[in-house]
């Protein structure tokens, strides 16, 4: 497993709205979690929790990658700048990009990027023994209340996760 996850803003924003940003780290695998300065700007002054490290997009190679990824994910009007930053930093630092925007994730995958959504990251936390599926499901329910769009209804995370091939390890199904 890669030891660094680089986060886009979606899950972070909704966790903050649910007043659960500090506790989000307890549901995730015990790896390095980073957020690019471009994404931090999207968080509108929200203080970062201890488990999440701010990283700068300040070296020439990462900035070149950022410009290239802007062309891939389309950043007209400032949209998807966070996704482009996450993909650039992840590429240059051998990290997994955690992005919930489906079209940006698809575009990145077609170009060989290691990218997953936040539900995958939460499932990795379950697989690592950080939290059982039903407890992670309670966390997901709290975020549903903030308007996040999940592919399941309240109480549906454990069943949804169990139905996704390869998402949970066999020992974690039905936890």
pLDDT score, position 68: 93
Helices (H), 79-174: 81-92, 102-110, 118-127, 133-144, 157-163
Q: Which of 80, 79, 169, 154 is nearest to 124 (CA)?
A: 169
Please report which confidence band the pLDDT of residue 163 belongs to, taking 50, 70 and 90 as the band edges. Answer: very high
pLDDT at 173 over 80: no
Count other C-beta atoms under 10 Å from residue 78's C-beta: 8
Give the pLDDT of residue 80.
86
> Strand, coil or helix: what is 21?
helix
> What's the pTM value of the predicted model, to 2 decimals?
0.93
pLDDT for 79: 75
Q: What's the pLDDT score for residue 128?
A: 94
Token pair belonging to 116: 């997953």
């Amino acid at each position: 497993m890669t030891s660094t996850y680089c986060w886009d803003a979606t899950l972070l924003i909704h966790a903050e709205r649910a007043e659960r940003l500090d506790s989000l780290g307890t549901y995730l695998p015990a790896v390095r979690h980073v957020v690019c300065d471009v994404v931090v700007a999207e968080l509108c002054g929200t203080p970062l929790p201890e488990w999440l490290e701010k990283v700068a997009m300040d070296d020439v190679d990462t900035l070149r990658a950022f410009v290239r990824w802007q062309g891939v994910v389309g950043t007209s009007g400032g949209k998807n700048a966070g996704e482009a930053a996450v993909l650039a930093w992840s590429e240059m630092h051998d990290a997994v990009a955690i992005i919930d925007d489906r079209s940006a994730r698809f575009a990145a995958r077609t170009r060989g990027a290691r990218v997953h959504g936040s539900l995958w990251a939460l499932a990795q936390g379950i697989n690592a023994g950080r939290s059982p599926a039903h407890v992670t499901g309670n966390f997901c329910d709290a975020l549903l209340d903030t308007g996040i769009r999940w592919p399941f209804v309240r109480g549906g995370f454990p069943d949804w996760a169990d139905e996704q091939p390869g998402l949970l390890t066999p020992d974690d199904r039905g936890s």
